[in-house]
Structure 1
Amino acid sequence: MSLSVSIKKKFRDFNLDVNFENDGDYFGILGPSGSGKSMTLKCIAGLETPDEGRIIFNDRVLFDSQKNINIKPQDRKIGYLFQSYALFPNMTAEQNIACGLKSSKEDKKIKIRKMLELFHLDGLERKYMSQLSGGQQQRVALARIFAYEPEALLLDEPFSALDSHLKEELQTEVFEFLKLYKGHVLMVTHQRDEVYKFCKNLAVLNKGKSIIYGDTKVIFNEPRTVEAAKIIGCNNISPCRIISPGQIFVNDWDIVLQTEKSIPENITHVGIKAHSFKIADNNDDPNTMDCEIINITDELFEYSIAFKNRASENSKKLIYKIKKNEWDSRTNNVKLFLQIPEESIFMLT
């Protein structure tokens, strides 16, 4: 099972230019609002038509601008879960599930019953959408798609409409449902934790362009570009210059980082995530800063500590995040020394 997307589409103030491939594992598209995530899904589903390019799914050409191929949405065998779920408010749960099914009355009845049981909607089949919770509406929307038996399932910000206190529970629930689905699953989101949790492979979009794609965990560990590093949540990024094969001077932090890793010749920046620093006893070891704390923000489960390199007047602010119990249990609470582990240095272009 494979999907290949290489498309371009011009808008008044936005140009979509997306390229990626996936071999059937759960695939995510991550990017900020307005990056072209939903538009990419709509082009795959046939709801929008690219200006040029190709979309190939399971060796079947869905779109090819040069060959003038553009398969109708209803013939693409693709299910689309909209952010709003796109349910009909004047229909009951079972009527929404039945919508679009083309089969005999008896077969339709059997399939609806199966979907109601599968998605734990027993007893809710005659309820209207206004009578259901957000999670129940989502299950109805998924049941409608599953009943259609698509070869691919496109999820457009599937948890954005849910209250935060329900989100984690429903994420787990939806993931269990998706295990029963044998087709291709593609999800777009701006939430890093969602794509990391659900998706084996990932494309990162920014301003309409796919800037990197590949294995999700590899991208989170090696984002390679400044734009990708920002999108995956790297808080600390600085311009830099190479001093020697094993040394990089970091402009904004006024520190020389030593590394045995191969340094790309085209490196322009380095980055480190806020959680990747390690507390040290002193600054005798390489890549360690004597930290001047600027302020400490008390967050729900951790502290966010803004600091700069005490040894430099030119150092700009960095962010360090640490669990509350780890911070409170420090033996030396007078001074703070933070080391940048060599394996945690992002080398960026």
Structure 2
Amino acid sequence: RFVAKGNRQEREQRVRENLARFDLTELGNAYPMELSGGQQQRAAFARILASDAKILLLDEPFSALDHYLKWKLELELREVLKSYGGAAVLVSHDRGEVYRLASRAAVIERGQMQPPHTRDALFENPQTLAATLLTGCKNVSKAERLDAHRVRAADWQLDLTVAAREPQSVAYAGLRAHFLEYREGAEDPARNIFSMEVADVIEDTFSYLVMIRRAGRQASCIRWELPKAEWRAIKAPVLSVYFPPEKIMLMES
């Protein structure tokens, strides 16, 4: 429950300011049942910011909003958090929200919270399968370590050179879709360049999602995301693709 503090004049002024901030001025006297889901969400923000709460729990705060209003409120929340003196906990399934708003993050799997990390550490080296998937990685394969510098990605049917020496016991390997790179010429497995065939091409709003797999193999597809102009320049049924060793994420569990 959030209660505005101060004398009556101060409370009324604070309420008016926050109603205006969230475009709710005309609904100031409305009952909750009279508000849409998005309006209720905005009203909750207004109540929070009109109070002097020491801890904010933001549970999917933008879930009922359209894209434009969601972005507008996210910008408002960013400004609030910059000057907020208390603690704020954000719960979200949206990796973009977490990346833009949080300084530290942790993954909850099967009701258990994994150790928290800095935002960048979590996204660059998720360490577990659950964290890798929740941070948005679309390409994951079962894997085993061959030696200190190589792993075998069984689902992709690729033996990959990797930069990470840890963990020693590898269960999965992952690679984000926008880290793959096109290379001219023949494949060179020793340098992580493989001949890949195109299984499907999906046009997205501002990019192409190119589904590729090891040429001549019945391997699982790998999602490759690249700008439209770049794909149109290299479009071919079979092409050489580079897997950057430093971008391959290894997971023990």
What's the TM-score bracket when you normalise by the shorter of the two chains?
0.7 to 0.9
When normalised by structure 1's length, the TM-score is 0.64
Q: Cα offset for 1:102?
A: 6.7
Q: Cα offset for 1:327?
A: 1.3
Q: Which residue of 2 aligns with 1:318?
A: 222
**Correspondence list, 1:1-349, <5 A:** 100-101=3-4, 107-117=7-17, 120-121=20-21, 123-124=25-26, 126-128=28-30, 137-282=40-185, 283-284=187-188, 286-311=191-216, 313-330=217-234, 333=236, 335-349=238-252
Q: Which amino acid aligns with 1:112?
A: E
Q: Is the 8 A contact 1:238 1:250 kept in 2?
A: yes
Higher relative contact order (CA closer than 8 Å, sequence separation 6+) = 1
Q: Is the 8 A contact 1:116 1:143 kept in 2?
A: no
For residues 123 and 294 of structure 1, do their structure 2 counterparts lie closer, same or farther at Cα, with a shift above 3 Å needed? closer
Gaps of 5+ in 1: 1-73, 80-99
Structure 1 range deviating more: 184-193 or 130-139: 130-139
For residues 165 and 128 of structure 1, do their structure 2 counterparts lie closer, same or farther at Cα, with a shift above 3 Å needed? same
Q: Is the 8 A contact 1:289 1:309 kept in 2?
A: yes
Q: Cα offset for 1:133?
A: 7.1
Deviations 1:258-278 (A, max 9, x none): 134324212111111111111
How many Å separate the matches in 1 of 2:218 and 2:57?
A: 48
Deviations 1:101-144 (A, max 9, x none): 576xxx03312303422563585474425777766654432232
For residues 236 and 125 of structure 1, do their structure 2 counterparts lie closer, same or farther at Cα, with a shift above 3 Å needed? closer
Q: Is the 8 A contact 2:4 2:52 kept in 1?
A: no
Percent identical: 29
Gaps of 5+ in 2: none
When normalised by structure 2's length, the TM-score is 0.86
Q: Is the 8 A contact 2:202 2:209 kept in 1?
A: yes
Structure 1 range deviating more: 183-192 or 115-124: 115-124
Corresponding residue pairs, total = 247
How many Å separate the matches in 1 of 2:230 and 2:160?
A: 26
- Structure 1 residue matching 2:122: 3-state secondary structure: helix
Tell me which protein shows more helix as a share of its residues.
Answer: 2
Deviations 1:77-110 (A, max 9, x none): xx6xxxxxxxxxxxxxxxxxxxx4576xxx0331
Q: Is the 8 A contact 1:278 1:340 kept in 2?
A: yes
Q: Cα offset for 1:210?
A: 1.4
How many Å separate the matches in 2 of 1:298 and 1:345?
A: 25
How many Å separate the matches in 2 of 1:237 and 1:268?
A: 10
Tell me which protein shows more strand as a share of its residues.
Answer: 1
Deviations 1:146-194 (A, max 9, x none): 3331111111100001013322222112222333322111110111110
Question: C-alpha root-mean-square deviation of aligned residues, in Å?
Answer: 2.5
